[in-house]
Amino acid sequence: MINSTVKLVFITGGVVSSLGKGLASACLGSILQARGYKVKLKKLDPYLNVDPGTMSPYQHGECYVTDDGAETDLDLGHYERFTGVPAKNSDNITTGKIYSNVISRERRGDYLGATIQVIPHVTDAIKEFILSDINDEDFVLCEIGGTVGDIESLPFIEAIRQLGNELGFSRTCFLHVTLLPFIKTAGELKTKPTQHSVKELQGMGIQPDILLCRTEVEIPEEQKSKIALFCNLKPESVIEALDAKSIYHVPISYHNQGLDNQICKHFHLDLDKKPDLSRWLNINKIQETSEGTVNIGIVGKYTSMVDAYKSLIESIFHGGLSNKVNVSIKWIDSEELENKELNINNVFKDINGIIVPGGFGFRGSEGKINGINYARVNNIPFFGICFGMQMAVLEFARNILKFKNASSSEFGKTDFPLIGLLTEWQSNKGIEKRNKDSNLGGTMRLGAYDCKLSKGTLVQSIYNQDIISERHRHRYEVNYEFNSDFEKHGMIFSGMSPSMTLPEILEIPSHPWFIGVQFHPELKSKPFDPHPLFSSFIEAALNNSRLL
């Protein structure tokens, strides 16, 4: 039984996908926080995958990992970055997970021989998820993935309709995000797609309480009145969501348009208590007054789908905020760096810092190694993340230690697996085991793990801590057996697992800034609290730019 005061806001989307429901949910959460309310955000995804862990980044973008080891939708990254509330496994559900749970219950006989149907069994399971793990929050914002009218999302729409009836108008609010396209040849905004989207939603039994209209141009008052008339709303409930110059300006923009006021009006809350938006005003002031630009090269294999690196991109910009400098990103396809006829000097011309992010598989790995070699030899600040750290180990082993056959068992059979599949390790859950035949998600070291930093190292000075906790998502580990060979030639493992068996961080003390980490620091960075590694990396890149 949830507490009797929590208020549920359901966010749906219509007309087209990629309207920014996740960002809208995150921004609404941040404004409500600024009013002093405690918030929780949840995401319901309609696809049949159990989670996005096995989905291609080309199709789904980044897989966001929580502290408790859940592989979730990238929108949970937005939620964390804007509210600072750590996401959990209980904050993301998929159709696949819902059906898995329902079928498991049926097999156990939990339904006492009933005929299992979408209504009520599947919808009940969805409602159970929505209402689970709610404590003393004032608001739970629940985003429904997909677009209204998609066959996949029908059970979710039906479930929130039922909740609206069960909890009543005073406990629930329906926010619909829609599109107002601007037809240039006609020189006007068109409201018909929004009208049809709302009609579709009404046909499913839901009357939206607030419309958030995405638009390239300002919405004239007569257009707002027209939308309100045809969609059964008051004009003040039609909120303009104009394209912003920065995503961190969106909370301010939504407040100025009255979104939080309408939410508070709906629930009969105090309107005199104004939000404290100083956090976002300060961030935007820094962005507007930042001087100079650092050029960061990202060497990856998903460069045609930048959402695959969503958290990384934002973390780099957070590092720019902390240094009050603008950041320009150059995307470098790692497969292109494998071309022996390529002039690599031209590729990295004017690049002040190089990042090799996470990834899986052999494709593009040799190009990443070539990029790392360029950074090491030319004293360019280098940041290797997860797979990027492992490739830094291989680059150093091959070119400095002369272990020419050094490779990773991830790439296939090798007689020198410097990077290998770990089959057993210690976590806060106890001993965890896996093998090459385990389900893909089951072979991962997922979630937050502690790391012990060596005193006097660069990373220890950056964190200013002896023990840190960071999120992981990987299957393979660096073989620590050759530790002394690396240290003797100038690369040290400055961060280790508490058991001192798994290398977590490497650095080259003689290099201006060369760090590789086995974890994903980008998952914990926020605009109002930039991750220290990204702040330090951008500072090093800025110093390098001044030397050019």
- The dihedrals phi and psi of 319, each to the nearest 5 degrees, come to -65, -35
| Per annotation, catalytic residue among 71, 470, 522, 539 | 522
Are 90 and 135 within 8 A, CB to CB? no
* One-letter amino acid for residue 364 of the chain: G
Which has the closest alpha carbon to 144: 306, 6, 292, 17?
17
Identify whether 520 is a catalytic site residue: yes
Which has the closest alpha carbon to 152: 17, 293, 348?
17
Which has the closest alpha carbon to 527: 535, 519, 539?
535
According to DSSP, the β-strands at 492-496 and 503-507 are antiparallel
- Locus of tokens 């006021």: 261
Identify whether 255 is a catalytic site residue: no
* Distance of alpha carbon 384 from alpha carbon 489, whole angstroms: 19
For 13, 369, 426, 487, 499, the CA distances from 502, given in Å and listed in that order, are 44, 22, 10, 16, 7
- Locus of tokens 């729409």: 157
Q: 3-class SS at 361?
A: coil
| Per annotation, catalytic residue among 386, 451, 470, 539 | 386
| Per annotation, catalytic residue among 255, 474, 520, 531 | 520
Q: Helices 259-266 & 21-34, crossing angle to 10 degrees?
A: 70
Are 388 and 375 within 8 A, CB to CB? no
Q: 3-class SS at 411?
A: helix
Identify whether 474 is a catalytic site residue: no
> Do you know the residue count of the chain?
548
Are 546 and 392 within 8 A, CB to CB? no
* Distance of alpha carbon 121 from alpha carbon 125, whole angstroms: 6
Annotated active-site positions, please?
386, 520, 522
